[in-house]
Structure 1
Amino acid sequence: MLAGLIFAIEEASDRPGTLVATLPFGGMTLLEYQIRLLIGAGAEQILVAVGRMTPALLAAVNRAGRREVRVEIVRSAEEAAEKIEEGARVLVMADGLVTTDPVMDRMGHDGPEALLVTDDAGSPAAIERLDMRDCWAGVARISVRQLGQIAQMPDDYDFQSALLRVAAQSGAEHVPLSASWLRSGHAVEHTAEGLAARNTGILAALTERRVGWADRWVFTRVARMALPELVSRNVPGWSLFAAGGVLALLSFTAIGFDWEGTGLIAALLSAATLATGGAMAALRGEERRAAAVEWALLALFGGVALGCGWMERARLDTTTPLVLALVALAAQFLVERAPSRHRRWWASPSAHLLLLAPFALAGVIQYGLAAAAAYAFVTLGAAVEGTREKA
């Protein structure tokens, strides 16, 4: 079992009386974002270590407690050790820590005790020095037994520092903080201004989850520009999915009236809206909704391709365009289900929409369907070869 322990004790240096954990971050509080990361790493129970309760902290804990894991408040290592099952691994997050899913996934793996470290004492991730070379970078994996050791210390100990010392003295593995993790926004912040600055970097990292060329160079850039503004205004995630659905219906309607160029433009707008909604869902820990975006984009591409194929079948008096649309959709469906890691050049629903758009605007969509079918088929071949290599 994996449990989580978050420290929420220190006040923001630029907002006296306000805990760092309750500062706004990513359309929620920092504490809620940290809880979201722990849930994503597989934590089944989460404890929040506090020095004092505030109304904002209680509200944040109550909101987070509506998720699928238990979120409880503790005031000491002794209380924490009593609440966590014997033999569980405990993933610890420092007060004011901002990080991303890859960091938490790495530290949440099975294994002995471990400390995330940096050898740069001036790094924004450096919290406390461990030895002559390394500083703690805000994440630790410890055992319940070590929590019990801290509980035997005098009452005036600092919980976070004591935990760090016990882990270091036990010979915990030092996991170096990589440059990519640092670039993605990993840091410890104790000011509202600093968190606001980190917010942009974290949002940018979340939009990089989709690796295809069309997403990286078009739709991800749109999401990166729109997401900070949407998050700052607390726009609900469902509204983006609703807007994407409406645009998809407009696209299908335009294609039904034989306005294929207009339909493709509406489809591209729908794809951009859905991609932004997916990034927002990932930020808020709504993994099912984020995963549903990929299937929604496939359905969007399928509707557009089949609609264009049907209209061309009637106009050209041949079933070839419709067959090409079916081949493209079937091949892409198999690509989406392929277990091999997707490559940047591979076809994707959003890439197909970009490919079809110029052909539709030029009035020769049948050639676009042929290109999409060929692209999907070549990608499927690469996916099959990738699966064979993996096997």
Structure 2
Amino acid sequence: MPMLAGLIFATEDAEGRAGTLAATLPFGGMTLIEYQARLLAAAGVGQMVVAVGRVTPALLGAVSRIAKREVTVDIVRSAEEASAKIHPLATVVVIADGLVTTDTMLHAMAGEAPDAILVTPEAEASGAVERLDRGQCWAGVATLSAQRLAEVAALPREYDFQSTVLRIAVEAGARHVALPASARRSGHGVERDAQVLAGRSNDVLGALANQRTGWADRWFFTPITRFLLPQLVRREVPAWATAVAGGGAGLLALLTLGLGHPAPGMLLALLSVILLSAGSLLSWLRGDNVRASQQEQGILLLAVLSALLLGIIASLAAGHATPFVLALWGVASNTVADRVPVRPRPWYASAASQVLLLTPFALLGLATLGLALATLHAVVSLAAAVEASRHKA
């Protein structure tokens, strides 16, 4: 895997806010530059340089917070300084000043061999950076060799750093990578207006929620998360608060099920999954990968324990062990299927789908039937995953 470095430009003022850099405008519960750095880190970038014209207290604060995420960050004022900081064999992922994009788009560009430039047709370039030729504009991301920075460093400092990097890459014959239509729909573009940026933030948050493609997520959890995330971000709700609320609802759900109340217990379990699911994305967005992972693991644990407790309740009510055996089979099948090294299909069973499937049957007093259907779903998913892994091998 190539050594990856990041170059973020933060030189332009925000529109209508004198003295405020566009890079320090609020975005997704943080500043825009922190969000950009978050995407770079998720794409595997271990070193970043921030190119500035001047340093503001807000920028210093943002860079300080980025550095706390175990990423090396340096502020530079010229191509010469940037070239000196970045390893000469590194592949540099360049992000334009004021760019809003998604982790999917940045992952794709980080995987491109240098030199590559993300482009968009001029007719669709409302959010682009600058024109490359008669028909194409730069869409704000490029993957370049460190040599390009050295070439810019050899030029007079009077040249605009960002524009010159782009021109040097074009002259070197950099490949053009077309901006996908899906990226535009997800809010990709350059923006320096605070109000418009807030709208783009909602688009990106929605795209983040849409990355979960399982049937339960697509038809139930994602619509709820798409509504919740912007509300949580707008109200500046800390990531830990959502985690605590989800964890508390989960514990209350298990206690309620343990006391023999399946309907309210499963409703609370479903509420817990909703909160933990939204909280996981919120934690990831704010760079807290550990808490995001903990909440995902919490969903798995809750699904296992709630299914087993529901099986015990149903077995006690029926006077035989069939419901509990069904719960055991379902949990075991889901657990094994998660470890099969294949890409899950949208219809596959998951921890979230198990809780969603069991809840209505618990409300109707048909827990055994719900366990039977959930187990059948898990077993069929496991069989399909194993078969897919055989073909893959």
TM bracket, shorter-chain basis: over 0.9
| Residue aligning to 1:2 | 4
Identity of aligned residues (%): 51
Structure 1 length-normalised TM:
0.97
| Residue aligning to 1:384 | 386
| Residue aligning to 2:93 | 91
Q: 1:317 to 1:122 in 2, by over 3 A?
A: closer
Q: Alignment partner for residue 223 of structure 2, among 200, 221, 224?
A: 221
| Residue aligning to 1:43 | 45
| Residue aligning to 2:81 | 79
Once the two structures are superposed, the pairs formed by residues 164-203 of structure 1 within 5 Å of their partners are 164-203=166-205
SS at match of 2:144: strand
Q: Alignment partner for residue 126 of structure 2, among 124, 148, 170?
A: 124
SS at match of 1:15: coil
Instruction: State the 4+ residue runs in structure 1 displaced beyond 6 angstroms.
Output: none
| Residue aligning to 2:345 | 343
**Aligned length, in residue pairs:** 391
| Residue aligning to 2:56 | 54
User: Matches of 1:101 and 1:167 in 2, distance apart?
Assistant: 23
Deviation of the 1:154 alpha carbon: 1.6
Question: Contact (CA 8 Å) 1:113, 1:141: kept in 2 or not?
Answer: yes
SS at match of 1:347: coil
Question: Contact (CA 8 Å) 1:223, 1:275: kept in 2 or not?
Answer: yes
User: Matches of 2:321 and 2:16 in 1, distance apart?
Assistant: 68
Q: 1:16 to 1:121 in 2, by over 3 A?
A: farther
Range that drifts further, 16-25 or 279-288:
279-288
Amino acid at match of 2:280: G
User: Matches of 2:377 and 2:344 in 1, distance apart?
Assistant: 14
User: Matches of 1:320 and 1:351 in 2, distance apart?
Assistant: 22
SS at match of 2:45: coil
Range that drifts further, 15-24 or 333-342:
333-342
Once the two structures are superposed, the pairs formed by residues 228-239 of structure 1 within 5 Å of their partners are 228-239=230-241
Question: Contact (CA 8 Å) 1:116, 1:176: kept in 2 or not?
Answer: yes
Question: Contact (CA 8 Å) 2:7, 2:49: kept in 1 or not?
Answer: yes
Deviation of the 1:242 alpha carbon: 1.2
Deviation of the 1:304 alpha carbon: 0.8
SS at match of 1:235: coil
Deviation of the 1:269 alpha carbon: 0.5
Structure 2 length-normalised TM:
0.97
User: Matches of 2:142 and 2:363 in 1, distance apart?
Assistant: 55
Range that drifts further, 293-302 or 137-146:
293-302
Amino acid at match of 2:357: L
Deviations 1:176-230 (A, max 9, x none): 0010111111110011112111010000011112111111111111111111111
Deviation of the 1:9 alpha carbon: 0.2
Q: Which residues of structure 1 form unaligned runs of 5+? A: none
Deviation of the 1:110 alpha carbon: 5.1
Question: Contact (CA 8 Å) 1:37, 1:285: kept in 2 or not?
Answer: no
Deviation of the 1:246 alpha carbon: 1.0
SS at match of 1:43: coil
Q: Alignment partner for residue 13 of structure 2, among 8, 11, 14?
A: 11
SS at match of 1:11: coil
Q: 1:223 to 1:266 in 2, by over 3 A?
A: same
Once the two structures are superposed, the pairs formed by residues 285-296 of structure 1 within 5 Å of their partners are 285-296=287-298
User: Matches of 1:331 and 1:124 in 2, distance apart?
Assistant: 49
User: Matches of 1:330 and 1:294 in 2, distance apart?
Assistant: 18
Deviations 1:311-344 (A, max 9, x none): 2222222111111111100101112222211111
| Residue aligning to 2:335 | 333
SS at match of 2:142: strand
